[in-house]
A and B are shown apart, each in its own frame.
Chain A
Amino acid sequence: QKEVEQDPGPLSVPEGAIVSLNCTYSNSAFQYFMWYRQYSRKGPELLMYTYSSGNKEDGRFTAQVDKSSKYISLFIRDSQPSDSATYLCAMSGNAGNNRKLIWGLGTSLAVNP
């Protein structure tokens, strides 16, 4: 079993839809949870960053962490064609080797006008 599981999709939605992207993990030592967005043939960019549990909102994006279920989510409201990209989850622990990022495979999202 991989430490981080992420459905690669592809996920196709109409413009304006609410998108839900998810990752599950097995290592209870993870404390930092990140979502990166990667456009085709570009480097990833950090989108959302959460420490420990809870929700974080930034504009149309909301990140949720449920440590009891070892499950993280990224919600995109009012999705736009410009949101079409691959979304990568990443996570890490607190100290030493646990600070190394563990990456999901990425979910490919297409938002259709």
Chain B
Amino acid sequence: DGGITQSPKYLFRKEGQNVTLSCEQNLNHDAMYWYRQDPGQGLRLIYYSQIVNDFQKGDIAEGYSVSREKKESFPLTVTSAQKNPTAFYLCASSIDREPETQYFGPGTRLLVL
């Protein structure tokens, strides 16, 4: 089955801790995206990558970092600099020439202890 997987489903972060959210896709998509979803705020783009070893900041990149070493994988690290990390994090992918049709993973809910 082709699709996007995210892990873990729930993640707990302690103060001052960096945590990494996993995103893997086997759709052979070039482009991958990370969004944050908060109640009443809709989807906000954190980072996106159109090709391996290249990525761009989205609208709310501060306090986050990413890497794209493999086409299939786009992990997101929430650093200690992100002061309000509690949110639902969604990873998506698309064919690069069709960014409108994005396929989403099931999401990771990050909570602060």
Which A residues have a C-beta under 8 Å from some C-beta of B?
Answer: 8, 32, 34, 41-46, 49, 88, 90, 92, 99-101, 103-106
Interface centre among A8, A34, A43, A99 (most CB of B within 10 A): A43
| Interfacial chain B residues near A104, Cβ < 8 Å | 42
Q: Which residue of B lies closest to A44 (CB)?
A: B104
**Contact flag A100-B100 (CB < 8 Å), given A42-B106, A43-B106:** no
For the complex with contacts A43-B106, A44-B104, A88-B43, 6 further pairs of A-B residues with Cβ separation under 8 Å are A8-B40, A43-B105, A46-B101, A46-B103, A99-B99, A104-B42
Find the residue from B4, B43, B45, B102 having the highest chain A CB count within 10 A. B43
Q: Which of B16-60 contact A (CB under 8 A)?
A: 40-43, 45
A90 to chain B, nearest CB (A): 8
Which 9 A/B pairs are nearest by Cβ-Cβ distance? A43-B104, A105-B42, A32-B100, A103-B43, A99-B99, A103-B42, A44-B104, A43-B107, A43-B106
User: For this complex, into which size category does the number of interface residues on chain B fall?
Assistant: 10 to 19
User: Does the CB pair B107–A101 fall under 8 Å?
Assistant: no
Do the beta carbons of B42 and A44 come within 8 Å of each other? no
Q: For residue A40, give the distance in angstroms from its CB to the closest CB of chain B.
A: 11
Residues on B close to A: CB < 8 A? 4, 40-43, 45, 88, 90, 92, 99-107, 109
Q: How far is the CA of A8 from the CA of B39 in the complex (A)?
A: 10
User: Hey, which chain A residues are within 8 Å of B92, CB to CB?
Assistant: 43
Point out the residue from B4, B41, B102, B103 that lies within 8 Å of A101, measured CB to CB. Answer: B102
Task: Report B-chain residues with C-beta under 8 Å of the C-beta of A88.
Answer: 42-43
Contact of B106 with A49 in the complex, beta carbons under 8 Å:
no
Question: Is A92 in contact with B104, judged by CB distance below 8 angstroms?
Answer: no
Measured between beta carbons, the chain A residues less than 8 angstroms from B100 are 32, 34, 49, 90, 92, 99, 101
